[in-house]
Structure 1
Amino acid sequence: MTTYVLLINWTDQGVKAVRESPKRLDAARKELADMGGSFKEFFLTMGDCDMVAICEAPDDAVMARFALKTGMAGNVRTRTLKAFPENAYREIINSLG
């Protein structure tokens, strides 16, 4: 599985219905699970992002599809970062010669 960091911000529509946000999170968890992925961590944050999620998915296409489907609902905008675990990071750096 590949790890992804999702930086999430509410849209105007999403913040107006913020009380429904936990239900939307539950639906997003199910949606990603149905695609073969999972939420590993979820945080409400202060600063540039309203929320941050650490997710896993089988591949980039699954995560792209999930992010697009989530965005289509109009409640959040996401930025997705592909995350390399420490062992992959070390391999990449060591391969530089």
Structure 2
Amino acid sequence: MPTYITLLNWTDQGIRASADTAERADAFGAALQRAGARLVAIYWTVGPHDLVAIVEAPDDETAAAALLRLGVVGNVRSTTMRAFGRDEIEGVVAKASA
């Protein structure tokens, strides 16, 4: 299943409710499951981003829809990148060499 790395920053609303962040992460994981995706891991970070999530979804459309639902809640803004594992990148390199 494709993997996505999502960099998250709290909005003003999200930081005001930071005491609930662990519960919101659980709700995010549950919402992803309902959408057919999976929260692999979530990390709270220090630096330019407040959280980093690793998500698996069957396709880009499912990932985008699930992350759009997250954004609608209003607690975070996200930047998402498609990530490739070793086997996947070997396939990409093989296609580029053909």
The normalised TM-score by structure 1 is 0.93
Structure 2 unmatched ranges of 5 or more: none
Q: Map 1:51-70; keep pairs closer than 5 Å.
A: 51-70=51-70
| Unaligned stretches of 5+ residues in structure 1 | none
Which structure has more helix as a fraction of its residues? 2
Match of 1:91 in 2: 91
SS at match of 1:96: helix
Normalised by the length of structure 2, the TM-score is 0.93
Match of 1:36 in 2: 36
% identity of equivalent residues: 38
The structural deviation recorded for 1:80 is: 0.7
Aligned partners of 2:82, 2:22: CA distance in 1, in Å? 25
Once superposed, which parts of structure 1, at least 4 consecutive aligned residues long, lie more than 3 Å away?
none
Q: CA deviation at 1:95?
A: 2.7
Name 1:50's counterpart in structure 2: 50
DSSP-derived class of the 2:77 partner: strand
The alignment of Structure 1 onto Structure 2 pairs a total of residues equal to 97
Q: Deviations over 1:16-71 (max 9, x none)?
A: 11001111111111000011111111111111110001110111111111111100
Which amino acid is the alignment partner of residue 84 of structure 1?
Answer: F
Tell me the secondary structure at the aligned position of residue 21 of structure 1. helix
Q: How well do the aligned residues superpose, as a CA RMSD in angstroms?
A: 1.0
